[in-house]
Structure 1
Amino acid sequence: MTKAQVRSELLARRRAMTPAERAGAAEAIALHVLAVPVVARARRIACYLSMSTEPGTGATIAGLHERGIEVVVPVSLPGGVLDWVVHDPAAALSVSALGIPEPDGPRLGQDTPHGCDVVLLPALAVDHSGHRLGRGAGYYDRALEAVTTPLCAVVFTHELLPEVPHEPHDVPVQMAVTPAGLFRVP
C-alpha cells in the first residue's frame, strides 16, 4: 500500500470512532505517558495540541503541568517549519490554516526540541521499527531531523502496525504510546 492509501484508511477509521472512545483513549494514553521514567524525570517536554480525531493530548498535558513539567507546543510557520511556544493552559488558542490549535505567545525558536527531555508527536501510524506515518506535510520530519531527544509518537492501539510505508527522510521514533501501553522500538 502507498502512504496515501494507508493515510486514507487510518483517517477514516479515526473519524468512525465515537467521542467516548476518543476520551477513553486519551485518558489511558496520559496514564501511560506519565508512568514513563524519562517523563517522570523531565523538566521540559514538547507535545502537540491534538485535533478532534487525533489521540487526545489534553489529559497528558494537564498531568505534565500538575507535575511541574514545562510543556512546549508547536506553532506552524510559513515554509513548512515549526516554532514552539510555552503552553499556558489559561491562554486562548486559535486554529491555524492547517486546522491545528495553536497558542499565541513568545516564540522560543525552531531548535527548541533539542532542549526538551522528550518529544511527544502526532502520527497516523507507527511500525515496529519506529517508522512514523504522519499526515504528509513533513513539518515534524524537518523539525526533528537532527534531534537526539527521545521521540514518542502518540497513536491509537490499532495504529501500531508491523510495517508502514516510509522514505529515507522520514524521522523515526524510539517509542509509541497507545491506549494499550508504551511500545519501545528495539
Structure 2
Amino acid sequence: MTKARQRDELLARRRTLTPAQRAEAADAIAQHVLTMPLVARARRVACYLSMPSEPGTAPLIAALHDRGVEVIVPISLADHSLDWVAHDPTAALVTTALGIPEPAGPHLGADALATCSLVIVPALAVDHAGHRLGRGAGYYDRALAGVAAPVCALVFTHELLPEVPHEPHDVPVQMAVAPSGLFRVPS
C-alpha cells in the first residue's frame, strides 16, 4: 500500500471517532505518558498542540505543566522546518493555513530538542519496527534527524500496525502511546 493511500484510509477512520471517544483517548494517552519513569524525571519535554483529528495532547500538556515540566511546542517556518517555543497555557494561539495551532513567543531554535528528555510527535500510524507515518510534509523527519532523546508518537489504538510504508529518510520512533498503552519498539 502506498503512503498516500494509507494516509487517506487512516484519516477517514479518524473522522468516524466521536468527540467523546477522542476525549477518552486523550485522557488515557496522558495517563500512560505520565506514568513513564522518563517523564517523571523530565524537566523539559517537546510535544505538539494537537489538531482536532489527532489524539489530543491538551490533558498531557496540562499535567506536565502541573508537575513543573517545561513543554516546548513546534512552530513551522517558511523553509518547511520546525522551530520551538516554550508553551504558555495562557498565551493566544494562531491556527496556520494547515490547521495547526501555534503559539507566539521567542523562538528557541532547532537545537532546543537537544535539551528535552522526551520528544512527543504526531503520527497517523506506527508499526512494530517504529516506522512513523506522518502527514507527508517531512517537517518532523527533518527536525528529528540527529536527536538523541527518545521519540514517542501518539496514535489511536487502531493505528498501531504491523507495517507502514516508509523510506530511508523517515526517522523512526522508539515508542508509541495509544489509549490501550505504551508500546516500545524492540531495539
Matched residue SS, 2:110:
coil
**Where does 1:20-169 land on structure 2 (aligned, <5 Å)?**
20-169=20-169
1:71 CA displacement: 0.1
Distance 1:39 1:163 in 2: 28
| Percent identity of equivalent pairs | 72
Total equivalences in the alignment:
186
Matched residue SS, 1:120:
strand
Distance 1:35 1:80 in 2: 33
1:148 CA displacement: 1.0
Amino acid at match of 1:43: R
CA distances 1:24-74 after superposition (whole Å, capped 9, x unpaired): 000000000000010111000000000001000000001100110000000
1:104 CA displacement: 0.3
Distance 2:126 2:113 in 1: 20
CA distances 1:71-105 after superposition (whole Å, capped 9, x unpaired): 00000001110000000000000001211000000
Distance 2:98 2:112 in 1: 21
Distance 1:115 1:142 in 2: 17
Amino acid at match of 1:58: A
Distance 2:165 2:59 in 1: 30
> 2:179 is matched with which residue?
179
Please give the root-mean-square deviation of Cα atoms over the aligned residues, in Å: 0.5
Amino acid at match of 2:57: T
Distance 1:20 1:82 in 2: 31
TM-score, L = length of structure 1:
0.99
Distance 2:139 2:111 in 1: 13
1:23 CA displacement: 0.3
Amino acid at match of 2:78: P
TM-score, L = length of structure 2:
0.99
> 1:2 is matched with which residue?
2
Amino acid at match of 1:24: E
* Structure 2: tracts of 5 or more residues without a match: none
Matched residue SS, 1:136:
coil
1:110 CA displacement: 1.1
